[in-house]
Structure 1
Amino acid sequence: MDPFQQMHEWKNNMDQFFGGNFWNEFEHIIKPPIPAINLYELDNELIGYISLPGMENSKQIEVYVDEYVLEIRGQLSPIKQSGKMHHQEILQGDFSRKIDLPFAVRKDRVSANLRNGLMCIHLHKKMDNTRKRKRVNIENEEE
């Protein structure tokens, strides 16, 4: 049985009782976001560290960048299960997470590497090269 099945049923009952999607704003408390991410801003770049326990093959994960959003998808299966489970805290299963970025990043300057279940992603700030200086016309006023 899915360990979150009873919680899911309880959530649905609360939604029916209070109406609408009562628990949507509390979902991050009930079910923590996976994978866990630390994002650091430097002058013109972002460095992200993404915890992916058990992830050994980069083909198990997909990463997308769209200027202001970093999206990560994959499947965590860190433990080969055997025996009867009595306690579970290590999250596993399919995940999809979108992270809003503090500034636009270049899609052509993204690098990522995976080592020992920790992915490091390096994003560069998008600099708008299309901006041009505009000369301001100054009018002479007669006194």
Structure 2
Amino acid sequence: MMLSDFGRIGFDPFLEMRRMQQEMNQRLGGLRTSAAQEFPPVNLWLGENSVALTAELPGIAPDDVDLTVRENTLTLKGDRKSQDETSVWHRRERPIGQFSRTIQLPFRVDPEQVEARFANGLLEVELHRPESDRPRKIQIKG
């Protein structure tokens, strides 16, 4: 943008400000720190008739985790409690407090066929697709 642009007919300073903001967001978007990423980190695997999900939850008790599923959405909520309230921290990269992640699944799942296991800070969830939603091969008559 040049100073001569301000006198130009049809020049919209607000449009120019939005363009500059978008450009700055794009340039700074890759500078996220690991602490700013969503918690907990999850991995999702797609099977033919099921989805498997793992979530890393170090230092969190299974009773402090709430897992719900509705149609094709899984919600993981919890509370990461402080282990020591009296210490003066020199460095703290693992935040405390409540967290929530909502994950869109690739298909509807049967809430009656969800299996969840929690061991050593790793939550493993297997979600099965309802029989009625599974693709069926159609026999073509000749």
Superposition TM-score tier, normalisation by shorter sequence? 0.5 to 0.7
> Is residue 111 of structure 2 the alignment partner of residue 107 of structure 1?
yes
Using the aligned pairs only, state the percent identity: 28
- Partner of residue 60, structure 2: 55
CA 1:119–1:78: 2 relative to 1, 3 Å: farther
Q: By how many angstroms is 1:91 displaced?
A: 2.7
- Partner of residue 33, structure 1: 38
- More helix as a share of residues: 2
Q: TM-score, normalised by structure 2?
A: 0.65
Select 1:67's aligned residue among 55, 64, 71. Answer: 71
Select 2:88's aligned residue among 84, 87, 90. Answer: 84
Q: By how many angstroms is 1:82 displaced?
A: 4.6
Deviation beyond 4 Å, 4+ runs, structure 1? none
Q: By how many angstroms is 1:89 displaced?
A: 1.3
The code of the aligned residue for 2:54 comes to: Y
Q: By how many angstroms is 1:81 displaced?
A: 4.7
Q: TM-score, normalised by structure 1?
A: 0.65
Range moving further from structure 2, 70-79 or 97-106: 70-79
- RMSD (Å), alpha carbons: 3.3
Q: C-alpha distance in 1, partners of 2:84/2:117?
A: 24
Gaps of 5+ in 1: 1-17, 132-143
The code of the aligned residue for 1:88 comes to: R
